[in-house]
Amino acid sequence: MSKSEQTRQRVADVALRMFREVGFEKTTMRAIASEAGVSVGNAYYYFASKDELVQELYRQVQDEHAALAEKALTEQSAAGRTDLASRLKATLHTGLDVMAPYHRFGADFIATAIRPTSAVNPFSSDSAEAREASLAIFKKTVEGAKPQAPKKLRSDLPELLWLGYMGITLFWVYDTSEGQRRTRRLVDGAAPLMARGLQLARIPGVGKIIDEVLDLSRSVRK
Amino acid sequence: MSKSEQTRQRVADVALRMFREVGFEKTTMRAIASEAGVSVGNAYYYFASKDELVQELYRQVQDEHAALAEKALTEQSAAGRTDLASRLKATLHTGLDVMAPYHRFGADFIATAIRPTSAVNPFSSDSAEAREASLAIFKKTVEGAKPQAPKKLRSDLPELLWLGYMGITLFWVYDTSEGQRRTRRLVDGAAPLMARGLQLARIPGVGKIIDEVLDLSRSVRK
DNA sequence: CCTCCTTTTTGAACGTGTTCAGAACTGAGT
DNA sequence: ACTCAGTTCTGAACACGTTCAAAAAGGAGG
The ranges assigned to domains in chain A are 1-47, 60-221
Predicted pLDDT at A49 = 96
CA of A30 to C1' of C2 (A): 38
Q: Is A140 exposed, middle or buried (0-12, 13-18, 19+ CB in 10 A)?
A: middle
CATH node for A1-47: 1.10.10.60
Residue B123 half-sphere exposure toward CB, CA atoms < 13 A: 16
CATH topology of domain B51-221: Tetracycline Repressor; domain 2 (1.10.357)
pLDDT of residue B173: 92
Mutate to test the interface with A, among B115, B126, B169, B222 (most CBs of A within 10 A): B115
Give pLDDT tens digits for B115-142: 877 778 888 777 788 889 999 999 999 9
Share of chain B above pLDDT 90, in %: 69
CATH topology of domain A60-221: Tetracycline Repressor; domain 2 (1.10.357)
Q: What is the DSSP letter of A116?
A: T
Share of chain B above pLDDT 70, in %: 100
Task: Report yes or no: B23 and B13 within 8 Å, Cβ to Cβ.
Answer: no
Q: What is the rounded CA–CA span in Å between residue A145 and residue B89?
A: 38
Burial class (CB in 10 A: 0-12, 13-18, 19+), A187: buried
State yes or no: pLDDT of B27 exceeds 80.
yes
Output the pLDDT for position A157. 94
Q: Are B202 and B150 in contact (CB under 8 A)?
A: yes
- Whether the CB-CB separation of A54 and A33 falls below 8 Å is answered with no
Q: Quick check: B182 and A112 CB within 8 A?
A: no
Residue B2 CA to C30 C1' — how many Å? 26
Angstrom distance (rounded) from CA A194 to CA A201? 11
How would residue B24 be classed by pLDDT, with cut points 50, 70 and 90? very high
The one-letter amino acid at B81:
R
Average pLDDT (B174-183) is: 93
Query: In angstroms, rounded to a whole number, what is the distance separating the alpha carbons of residues B147 and B134?
Result: 23
Report the chain B residue with the minimal C-alpha distance to residue A113.
B111
pLDDT of residue B28: 98
Half-sphere exposure of B31 (CA within 13 A, CB side): 15
- Please give the pLDDT value at position A22: 94
Tell me the CB-side half-sphere exposure of residue A48, using CA atoms within 13 A.
Answer: 3
- pLDDT of B150 reads 87
- Residue B112's pLDDT band (cuts 50, 70, 90): confident
Beta-carbon separation of B182 and A220 below 8 A: yes
DSSP A148: P
Segment 79-108 of chain B within 8 Å of chain A by CB: 107-108
CB A59 within 8 A of CB A129: no
**Using CA atoms, how far apart are residues A154 and A147, in angstroms rounded to an integer?**
12
Ordered alpha helix ranges (H), B175-203: 181-199
Name which of B173, B200, B216 is nearest A205 (Cβ-Cβ): B200
Task: Give the nucleotide with minimal C1' distance to the Cα of A31.
Answer: D16
Q: What is the pLDDT of residue B126?
A: 73
Distance B22 CA to C21 C1' (A): 34
Positions in chain A whose pLDDT score sits under 70: none
Choose the closest CB to A193 out of B116, B206, B209.
Answer: B209
Other residues' Cβ atoms within 10 Å of the Cβ of residue B148: 13
